Chain A
Amino acid sequence: MLRFLLRRTGSLIVVLLVLSAVVFLLQQVSPGDPARAALGANASRAAVAAERHRLGLDDPLAVQFLRFLGHAVRGDFGTSYRTHRPVATDLASAFPATLELVLAAFVVALLLAALFAASSALSWPFAGIGRGVLLVVATAPPFLLALVGIVVFYARLDWLPGSGRGEGGPGSELAHLVLPATVLAIAPALAIGRILRAGLEATLAADHVRTARSKGLGQAAVLGRHVVRNAIGPSLAMSGLQLGFLFAGTVVVEQVFSWPGMGNYLASSIPTSDYPAIAAVTLVLGAVYVVVNTLADVLQTAADPRLA
């Protein structure tokens, strides 16, 4: 197990390095020029060249990459072209909002996935309609769901707020979370639910479950002790994957709901070609994604004695 952890950590570091290399290279090919951005559009050629030299932009690529890495590790992502503040400062204020939204969405996704899988594998009556709705809704683009959600629950019914992050008490905060978290959760819920259903169905039909039933165990004991643990492995991995996807999914959803998180920050940076901001968000959310997947992988291994 220790060896497995070491190997997994090793590959985690490699992937993070590759991620930062990709982001760095993209920054190189992006049309924006940090020197010109810092000096303004009217600066002279000579002044721009001097600024480039000061920023080290004429150093060899490898040197620049190492410097980029060093800065990134210390949380220095440069200055945003758009807000003219350090990107790190902007991210620090946006990250908690994103984390809150993603965790809420993850909980919703897991609940929906469990409902979807259990209702199908255990043939609950009348659950088929719910599953059908989820199947169709999950094929809709998130921005459509968000807009329809706003029209229905805010404009028509006025049950829930349509934008922003709540202020003034947990009640308001929760109310603001409901729509964006649900919209964000739909697609991952179906993805996890399908895997979980397949796992449950395969395990329910497995020989060892028949053995458990032949012992005269009750349904709860059979499910709890013999089915769930054997069925859950692949869906753990899928949950990790989807938790990662949730961070990426925030870009569109946060923008529609004006949620003051990193996705919204990234979405606002795109039209202004604010590449330092785009690079930083990609790097941070990408790193979170990679780490979450590694954790899910470790968890899955721990759950199955055959893999450890």
Chain B
Amino acid sequence: MNAPTASVRDLHVSLERNGIRSDVLRGIDLDVARGEIVGLVGESGSGKSMLALSLLGLLPENARPHVTGQARVLDTDMVNDPEPARRAARRAALGAVFQDPMTSLNPTMRVGRQITEAGQDRDGAVRLLGAMGVPDPELRFRVYPHELSGGLRQRVMAAIAIAGRPALVVADEPTTALDVTVQAQLLALLRELRDDLGCSVLLITHDLGVAAQIADRIAVLYAGRLAEVGPAAEVLGSPAHPYTAGLLRSRLSLTLDRSRRLPTLPLDTLTADERSHGCAYRARCPLTVDRCATDTPGVEESRPAPGHGAACWFGSETVRSATAAVTPTPAAAPRTAPATAEPAVVLDDVVVSYTTGHGRRRRTVEAVRGISLDVAAGEALAIVGESGSGKSTVLRVVAGLVPVTAGRVSVAAGGAQMVFQDAGSSLTPWLTVGETLRERLAPLRLGRAETTRRVEEALEGTGLPAAVARLRPADLSGGQRQRVALARATVVRPAVLLCDEPTSALDASLAATTLNLIRQMREELAMTVLFVTHDLAVARLMGDRIAVVERGRVVEVGDAEAVIGAPREPYTQALVASVPEIEVVR
């Protein structure tokens, strides 16, 4: 057997942040074979990016990394060898694609130069740009990064990554900042690179679906340790670790049963100290036994198939039956809105345009170019579109935060309240949660005791203890802040609840919890819901109907299942096709 391109052995990394030292990787063993694509999957904080940086030999110096173990790429140990050797390896054997194409390119250097610098002559670089699917490569060779779209920049990043003919490409969340249609293209590009150049790829992602699309093998990382590793079909088809099984179960897909609550993973309650011994997943695991708190299973512990291993004391059969046994409770039966009801929201040929810049740079941007929508009382409408499609602007128009340039908007009595994309920043940081909620109740002049009662009621309604009222947003976790935002919107029942991508910044299991909560509150308070998202799976779940928005216009609107099952417009078809799905024969 050939020696692997990259091989990580018993890698431990600890970093210092704000004066606290914490272990981010706690003993990783992982190989990437020649020509293999390995998908490394984990939620935020699992240490997956630090594994990437270890392999590149670029651990952040200012975090004073402590490293033991090895991370070899070909013949160089990227964490222990002297810097000149590591630099030579980066030059000759490694390429990297980072998450944010907006910040990962040098803003003051022409694109072409940034590619040739990585080891290509001029003609080679132009050819490379063309091969990456950049139109007009000759022209694009001479531009600065800010003159390119996000998708093109990420292609430039890919060109830089392979310019030096690397043996291994490390791609750290390369698609996260991109729209779904561009995402799919970039993943295809990575696979072509492997097929054409024979290089290995380490694809790091938080989304099992992304890994499922191109990875030969999948490694699941949890709290700095490998939870499971194996051939992609094995890991996805018969997960042997409860975490992988849970992730697969709570993953949103286009085929999920809409009538049920989403399955969610329990929250992690372990402290950093408790996590350092035993199985880090034990607090969330349905199978936990005493041994899980004391002994730490290795990834060799469970061996359901050759090359497939999981760090669990239980065999894959036990894991599967235990995780499948948790059946999600059915949500209240979806109500169909009475057809005769007055519409709660009416948009009549709404146009929104605004001007940016001064002088010659002054230009008018039409964010919304004539949208008409009726939303019946009690109905939920999901608005789907890519970034810049104008979908958020529609929501802000309904909220009254943006004036319309032309057209008419009406909202039913009771008004609209909104849950913003970034719940943390939508809460005033220096006010306590109680003060924030009381502001909404102030116009009702309820008196002290009654106001306090209503605040506590609203918090309880979102699953928060009443004590949270005395805390400030900085004292809360991301999920808790999202709940507070929801409590603020509903402490006085609005006729319409507007949701602007409320889950896009959350990890999968937390997102599922939030979506469940919004659905539940919609039922309890009989609200009309407008839900904006870029994710078709979320749209299908949250909307009775779906409106697809492209460049400020509604291109398709209809019953959720119909739009997804049989999309009429090519744009909708492209959107549906590019949703990363996991198709495994079970």
Contact = CB atoms under 8 A, between A and B. Distances in A.
A touches B (Cβ under 8 A) = yes
Interface of A: 3, 7, 205-208, 210-218, 221, 225-226, 229-230, 303-306
B105 A215 contact: no
Contacts of B96: 210-211, 214
B56 A214 contact: yes
Interface of B: 56, 58, 60, 62, 87-92, 94-96, 98, 100, 103-109, 114, 117-119, 144, 146, 157, 160-161, 163-164, 359-360
Contact of B94 (A210, A216, A217): A216
Contact of B119 (A210, A213, A215, A303): A215
B95 A214 contact: yes
A303 B119 CA distance: 26
A208 B107 contact: yes
Contact of A305 (B91, B92, B108, B118): B108
Given A217-B117, A305-B146, A210 B106 contact: no
Contacts of A214: 56, 58, 90, 94-96, 98, 161
A187 B98 CA distance: 41
Contacts of A212: 106, 117
Most buried by A among B60, B106, B359: B106
11 contacts: A211-B157, A214-B56, A214-B58, A216-B89, A216-B91, A225-B106, A226-B106, A230-B106, A304-B108, A305-B107, A305-B146
Nearest to B56: A214
Given A213-B58, A215-B160, A216-B91, A306 B146 contact: yes
B105 A211 contact: yes
B117 A210 contact: no
B405 to A, nearest CB: 28
Contacts of B89: 216
Contact of B107 (A3, A7, A215, A306): A306
A216 B92 contact: yes
B91 A226 contact: no
Contact of A207 (B62, B98, B108): B98
B552 to A, nearest CB: 26
Nearest to B104: A207
B88 A216 contact: yes
B418 to A, nearest CB: 32
Nearest to B83: A219
Nearest to B145: A208
A96 to B, nearest CB: 37
Given A215-B91, A216-B92, A225-B117, A210 B146 contact: no
B389 to A, nearest CB: 25
Given A211-B160, A216-B87, A306-B107, 13 more contacts: A7-B359, A206-B103, A207-B98, A210-B58, A211-B106, A212-B117, A214-B58, A216-B92, A216-B94, A218-B87, A225-B117, A229-B108, A230-B108
A211 B117 CA distance: 11
Contacts of A211: 96, 98, 104-106, 114, 157, 160
Given A303-B108, A305-B107, A305-B144, A215 B117 contact: yes
Nearest to B147: A305
Nearest to A209: B106
A215 B118 contact: yes
Contacts of A205: 60, 62
A225 B109 CA distance: 8
A214 to B, nearest CB: 4
Contacts of B163: 215
Contacts of A221: 117
B63 to A, nearest CB: 10
Contacts of A225: 106, 109, 117
A125 to B, nearest CB: 15
Q: Please list the 4 inter-chain residue pairs (A to B) with the smallest Cβ-Cβ separation, ordered nearest first.
A: A216-B91, A216-B90, A214-B96, A207-B103
Most buried by B among A205, A211, A303: A211
A81 B217 CA distance: 90
A211 B94 CA distance: 11
Nearest to B359: A3
Contacts of B146: 305-306
B107 A210 contact: no
A195 to B, nearest CB: 18
Contacts of B104: 207-208, 210-211
Contacts of B91: 215-217
A218 B91 CA distance: 10
Contacts of A306: 107-108, 144, 146
A38 B518 CA distance: 86
A274 B42 CA distance: 76
Nearest to A212: B106
